Amino acid sequence: MILAHVEVVRSINNVTENNSMNFPPTITIIGTGNVAEILGQRLFAEGFHIVSLVGRNKRQASELAQKWSARIEDIAKISGEFVLVCLPDSVTKNVVEQIDNQKIVAYTAGSLSLTEISHSNCGVFYPLQTFSKARKENTLRYPILIESKSSSVSDFLKELGNKISDQVEYCDSEKRKYIHLSAVFINNFSNHLIYLGQKLARQKDIDPQLFAALIEETFAKLKDITPEEAQTGPAARNDLATIKSHLNLLQGDEREIYKLMTNNLLKTFDHDQL
């Protein structure tokens, strides 16, 4: 199995040396969701040959296959030399272990440990970014975190990553789990809080676009200063009168979220909690 894997890598390296096309010469993408579409488009735009696509959603698979001049295949008959699995964490393991061990495989799931995967030529190709189909910006920048079971696959993934990202780093599964967890707080939760804020505004016939400049500055200043330095608001300054006024305007989940966040902020800034 190891010898077979080495031959695949040698074959890819030979194609790279003798052909101007970027390696690998053929890629199969499994998945039709946000990550599959946006990563696949980035690879396609950089000249990679996406030869086939595997996906349960027939309509989306057909659209992507047409866009990349690829064919639709079954998981048992994958023709690509490199297989990129862009599926949710919960189903990735089962899918990866159905792929021929002769193939080089990498998955994009953030919280799935590589030690859980039995495929001998498997690695991780995790883009640390939020992907939404409604925003198909092909110049979007993001680090790519890689991990593998062998140095040859690691080198392969690093070279692949360097073609589409300015930052490619090796990251083991344990560290990646905490990176994924941190990303949930930084992106998913902050995005949901903005949703809740805009929802409250709409309930009072306030145009959510009124907050556009505030949202932009909230994240823009974090490029220059720390979150601690950037933090403002009633909890940071221990303005209990304003906090109580806000709580009186809220009910249900929103009230509990406001109180929980406020208490955490009060604690962070060494104030007494509510």
Amino acid at 204: K
Query: Exposed, middle or buried by CB within 10 Å (0-12, 13-18, 19+), for 85?
Result: buried
The pLDDT score that the predictor gives to residue 9 is 44
Query: Exposed, middle or buried by CB within 10 Å (0-12, 13-18, 19+), for 198?
Result: middle
For residue 17, pLDDT over 70 is answered with no
* Angle of the 252-268 helix axis to the 190-203 helix axis, nearest 10: 130
Residue among 124, 170, 162 at smallest CA distance from 16: 162
Could you tell me the CA-to-CA distances from 20 to 13, 23, 37, 67, 70 in Å, in that order? 12, 9, 25, 22, 20
| Residue 147 to residue 151: CA distance in whole angstroms | 9
Q: What is the mean pLDDT of residues 130-158?
A: 84
State the average pLDDT for the chain. Answer: 88
Q: Which DSSP letter does residue 49 get?
A: -
Question: For residue 46, what are the contacts with CB-CB under 8 A and spacing of at least 6?
Answer: 22, 163, 164
Name the least confident of 149-158, 211-220, 236-245: 149-158
Q: Which DSSP letter does residue 22 get?
A: P
For residue 139, pLDDT over 50 is answered with yes
Tokens 């979150």 appear where?
227
Residue among 115, 119, 87 at smallest CA distance from 103: 119
Over pLDDT 90: what percentage of the chain?
77
The pLDDT score that the predictor gives to residue 23 is 57
Query: Exposed, middle or buried by CB within 10 Å (0-12, 13-18, 19+), for 62?
Result: middle
Domains of the chain: 2-171 (3.40.50.720), 178-268 (1.10.1040.20)
pLDDT digit string (tens) for 79-104? 999 999 999 989 999 999 999 998 99
Q: Identify the residue with better confidence: 271 or 76.
A: 271
Helix (H, G, I), strand (E, B) or coil at 15: helix
Could you tell me the CA-to-CA distances from 159 to 121, 163, 234 in Å, in that order? 16, 7, 48
pLDDT digit string (tens) for 231-273? 999 999 999 999 999 999 999 999 999 999 999 999 999 999 9
